[in-house]
Structures are given as structure tokens and as C-alpha cells.
Chain A
Amino acid sequence: MNERSPLAPLDRRLVFVVGKGGVGRSTVAGAVGLLAARRGAQTIVAEVSGRGELLQRFGVADEEGEVEVAPHLWAIQIDTARALDEYLHEHLPLRMLADLVGATRLIGYLAAATPGLREMLNLGKLWELAQTERRVPGTHPYDVVVVDAPASGHSLALLSAAQTFARTAQGGPIARQGGRIDEFLHDREQTAIVAVARPDDAAVTELLELRQRLSDEAGLALDLLVVNAVSREPLDDGQTSSLRAALDQGGLLDAGARLAVQLALREDRESQIEREQIARLTRDLPDIPLVELRRTEHGELASHELEALADQLAAVL
């Protein structure tokens, strides 16, 4: 382990936020980005192959390119076609660019048919965003790039794209550049992977599987676990038995109060199940630091939710 705080993914240039669909990956990515920006880092949050959910959180849906959304904070929707275009302009000699028009459709078909090429282009764009010297004209460098990665299986495809593509293409400039990108991903001074789960069985199981596959198939490790939407601490045993005793004691509670006690006990069972799932994570992955985020109130405004989660993260990161 290096000398830095293990809870310091914000020290890295490229931070991937991965996890199952529906666990709040975009929200956590947004909160991580917001926190980095609050601390003065030039930060960009990048959404890969989503539908602009994260951009919508910042109130800038459907915009192209790097959009400033808050002080020190930018957002971008990664667009494969655009990434390809940028790549071609950077790598091809001028005389060949004229042929580009005729080739675009053909390249599009090939990109669809070529294993890993799409992911490779997306990954290449993320890497480009994280470089101290940007290659795309008219852009500026960032200190931190936070990636709202696609759902589990697709994240794996993204993070292993450089390897997959090198294996398939066996040569060529994209595969060569892939080697450099892959090195960057494996450099834990540069890249961090944050995995998000909810404290339920399905999400925890999927996180454990994803960690295993990331390790086996891409040689990558997780830097931080975020358990999102934890409701509250369970009651202690004395409290639950007092509540049960009160229910059993006829006449002590009126109908409304009985119902309230039943609700409280049910809520407590939920909390206990959550604790069991969090315990599963700490038991199976004892060396990876874990952060719990409290569930925010339903119906809270999207922007407030991000601020509130960033506050919670600030206390531990």
C-alpha cells in the first residue's frame, strides 16, 4: 500500500465509478465530482453511454462537449462518434482527411462489428481528458476526471477495452495507443476505481462478482467501496425486545400505536438486513476501504441531493 491515505481516490487523475444499474452510480459520481471541485481541483464528470442523466442532474441536458456546470466543475457526455472523429483528426495526415467523408459510414459499421473498438474509443477519450497536455484543440487540462461508467458488465468491457482490442487487432495505431492507456489504468497513482452498491443482496453480490472479474479479466483492483442509500442504524436488542413485549401486552397500545410499533420493528428489520449486507462486503473485501452514504429523503431536489452526498463524502474522503 502506498503512503497516501487509502481513502484518497480524489488524488488520482482518473476516477471510475462502477456498479450495478439502479444503485445510484450517477449520483455518487456527481457527488465525487462536486467534492473534488469544492476542494479546488479542476474537475470534469464524464458520463459514458448513458442518456445524459448526470448532465441532467447539473441542469445541462443535451449539450455537446465539455460544459461548465459549477465552479471548477465541468461535465461531458462521452460520444463515440465524436471520439472517433477527434482521433482521426489527430492521427491522420491531412491528405487522408479528405477521404474521411467517404469512409465514415464504413468505419461506423466496422466500429459496430469490431469487438472492443467502441469501448476502446470511449476509453481513449476518457484517457485524453485526464492528460496534463490535452490533445483536442481549444480544451484545457483537468486535475480530476470522474467517470460515471456504464452498468457492471459494460464497465468491465470498458475497463478491459485496451486489452481486448490489442488482442483482436494484433497491431495498428489504436492498439498501440491502447497499451499506453492500459498502463495508465493500472497505475494506481493515476487511476482509481470506486464501486457503488446498495446494502441489498443483489447489489452486493453483483459488486463482489464485478470485483472478481475486474481482477481476473483486467488485472484491476477496487480502491473504494461506497454503500449508497443506507437507511439508519438498527435498534439495539434491548429496544427491539421492549417493543415486542409492548405488542404482546394487551391493552397497552391503541390500534394506531400498535401499527406504529409494528412499522418501527419492520423498519428495524430492514436496517438489520442492510447491516448484514455491509458486513458481507467488509468480510469478503477486508482490504478495501468502505464508505457508507445515508439515504437522502425521497423527493429531494436533485441538486440538493448531490450537495448532501458530497457533504457526507467530504467527512471521510
Chain B
Amino acid sequence: MSVSSALTTRRIYICVGAGGVGKTTSAAAIALGLAARGRRVALITIDPSRRLAGALALDELAGEPQLLSAEHLAPAGVLLRGEVWAMVLDPQRTFDDLIRRLAPDDATRERVFANHIYREISGAVGGSHEFSAIAKLYELDRSGEFDAIVLDTPPSRNALDFLRAPESLMQFFDAPALRLLLAPAGLGARISSRAGAPALALIRRLVGVDLLSEIALFFAAVGSLIGGFRERAAAVEALLRDRGTTFVLVSSLEREPIRESIAFAAQLRQAGLDIGAVVVNRVTVAAPTSREPAAGGDPSATDARRIDEVSLRAALGEELGAIVAASAERAERLARHDQAGVALLRAELGGVPLATVPLLDRSLGELERLGAVARALFNDLGGGKEL
């Protein structure tokens, strides 16, 4: 299967990969390509660093899907038959929304919101980010408003937590320890009675009584929500395994991203999740300066693009000729290195369709760049400029 069709046949695309490999731009380009094919696409990022807004040439992205006008996207040079709706996820708000929906009554809801342990857990402290993201994914999918959803995730070290999020949340709420805390004569009572179990005495000694009572209050407050949470987490996990969902592995050709991509693919496979495509960014494509014929090539072949340093010096002068020759040589080394990297990824990820995106000129505008990436991923977008 080609990357182009792998990126068309599903409903949900989750872009994962190491930091700094161009994940956000790739996610945006996939959304653009899907919209070109007439889909109504939601593009979600959980990266708090405004990268998606930047990639889409917007100053700000809202916490709710916002339609990007065809006019705004025009510089990308892609004819849109569908729509792109983009949003940046606010984990705090998503988590709050979830509590609002799951809370049996107003009083419970207010008790949870007022608990400062809840504020800390649902806010900046990691963990719930990932759960919030897939909770939102699930919600958007269920809403039926979109034909396709593309999710941009945080860098892979966190994306592992991301995959485990539904499971670990369920385990958390399933824990016997938690039931102990939530029992009618649970933690709260034990703390005040001083005759608590030895384990609790130890914890009390460790973290202090105030914190312990806060935690007890927190669990008491969320106790009634647990059933709902468990259901939601199970549904979300099922969605990740749904046939309509696929993971898109994004990599560059530097050493660490390659290594992380290979490791990440193994983890996805082990978890039984589908990898639909691999996107390799910033590939130096041409090796225009072959001083020696390529390995296995015909040594007598004359390469029109072959560079002769002597004639370069003659045409440009000693100094400039040498500068240009050195630059061409670097480009060739990079191209060889990149070819080897792509070959390695192909071998390690055998069978998964792989697309390479050429290194783009940095003087391109954001949307032109986005269009160029989309054309590298989808083979029939047309209207493209040669880069």
C-alpha cells in the first residue's frame, strides 16, 4: 500500500515520534491532504508550545475546533474540497469537561473542582495531559461532526505514557489500595482515629497529615465518578485499537530519532496497535556532486550533474569555487547518510508504507512549506511547485 492511500483510508490518525522531527507539520500536512480529498478534518495538538498555530501561520489557536478558511490556506497551493478545523487542547479544560459530564450531581462536581489536589492533578502536572487528549479524541469522534481526525502528540517519551494513559487510569481506579481509601471507614476516618493501619501510619509520617486528608477528600469526592471514568477509559482504549485508527510514525534521519522511531514502532506493535505509515522528514534527496560513480553504478556513465571542482574554480574564482565545492560535497555526504538512514528505517519497519519529505528551503513561508509536505505525502494533490 502507498503512503498516500494509507493516509486516506482511516478515520483517526495519531502522529507520534521523537522531539524535533517535524511531527506537528506532518500532522497538519496530513489534515490538509485529507481535506483536499473532500474530508471534513479535525486537527488537534496537545503540544502547548504553539507549534501548530505557527505551522498553520496563525497567531493563536482556540481550545475548540476552528475552521481555517480556504483563503487563509491558499498559499499552501492545495485545492481543498473539504475543510480543516484546528484546535489546541487545553488539558485542564478537557478534564474539567469530563468531570462535568460524569458527575452525578452539581454538589459532587463542585466538591471535586474545589479540591486543590484535583486542581494540581488536572493541571500542569503530567499524566492527565495524555488522558485528556484521547478523551477529546473520543469525544470528537463520537460527535460525528468530522470525517477524519488527526492528532499531534507530545514527543515520544511522553507518547509512551500517552498510550498507557487509559490503561493506567483504569488500574489506578481499580486498585485495591484505592478501595481501601474509599471504604466508608476509609482513609479519612483512619487518619483522625490515630489507630490506623501501620501502612497508613507510615504514609502519614512520610507526607504529613494535611496532605493525607486532602488526598482522602479528593478520592471521596471523585469516588462517585469512578464508574464513569472506567467506562470512558475502556471506550478510549477500544478506539485506539479500532480498525479506523492508525498511528503515523514521524522521524527525521538523525541518530536519536531513528533509534527512537525503531523502538517506538516495536512498542506500538507489541501493544497490538496499527502503524499505518512512516513519515521521514528533512531528507536530503539529491547527491548532485558524485565525484565517484555511485556504488553499483556504471563507472563509464557520465553524470550531467557531476561537479568538477577545477571548472568551478575557473568560473567562480579560487575562493568561491572552493566554497561551492565544499558545500556540494557536504550535500553529497548528507544525501548518502540520509539514503542509508531511510534504508535502515525501511528494513526495521518492514512492510509499513514509508514516505520521505525532502529538506525544504527555510525561506519558504509556513503554508508553502505545509503544502510541500502534503504533496510529498499525497501523490495526487497536483498544482505543486518543484522544490
Q: Which A residues are closer than 8 A to B by beta carbons?
A: 20-23, 26, 49-51, 53, 88, 91-92, 96, 99-100, 102-103, 105-107, 109-110, 112-117, 150-154, 157, 164, 168-175, 198, 201-203, 205-206, 209, 235, 239, 242-243, 246, 252-257, 259-261, 263-264, 266-267, 269-270, 273, 297-299, 302
Contact = CB atoms under 8 A, between A and B. Distances in A.
A170 B48 contact: no
B120 A21 contact: no
4 closest A-B pairs by CB: A21-B19, A22-B20, A172-B208, A115-B120
Contacts of B126: 153-154, 157
A299 B337 contact: yes
A256 B304 contact: yes
Given A202-B49, A269-B362, A114 B215 contact: yes
Contacts of A252: 315
Given A105-B177, A106-B177, A157 B124 contact: yes
B306 A96 contact: no
Please classify the interface of chain B as helix (H, G, I), strand (E, B), loop, or mixed, using the class held by over half of its residues: helix
Interface string B1-33: 000000000000000001111000000000000
Interface size class of B (residues with CB under 8 A): 35 or more
A259 B305 contact: yes
B125 A115 contact: yes
A110 B208 contact: no
16 contacts: A22-B20, A110-B207, A113-B117, A115-B120, A169-B210, A170-B208, A198-B20, A246-B315, A256-B307, A256-B308, A257-B324, A260-B312, A260-B327, A261-B316, A263-B331, A269-B362
A203 B180 CA distance: 46
Nearest to B125: A115
Q: Which of A150, A261, A273 has the most CB of B within 10 A?
A: A261
Given A115-B120, A202-B51, A242-B316, A172 B19 contact: no
Given A115-B121, A157-B126, A21 B18 contact: yes
A256 B306 contact: yes
A254 B202 contact: no
Contact of A257 (B19, B312, B319): B312
A270 B362 contact: yes
Interface in B120-136: 120-121, 124-127
Given A202-B54, A264-B323, A269-B362, A256 B305 contact: yes
A30 to B, nearest CB: 12
B175 A267 contact: no
A243 B324 contact: yes
A246 B257 CA distance: 39
B288 A256 contact: yes
B202 A100 contact: yes
A96 B330 contact: no
Contacts of B175: 105, 109
Given A22-B155, A113-B215, 5 more contacts: A88-B206, A99-B198, A106-B177, A174-B208, A260-B288
Contact of A172 (B50, B206, B316): B206
Contacts of B202: 92, 96, 99-100, 103, 107
A170 B210 contact: yes
A239 B49 contact: no
A175 B361 CA distance: 51
Contacts of A202: 20, 49, 51, 54
A266 B211 CA distance: 58
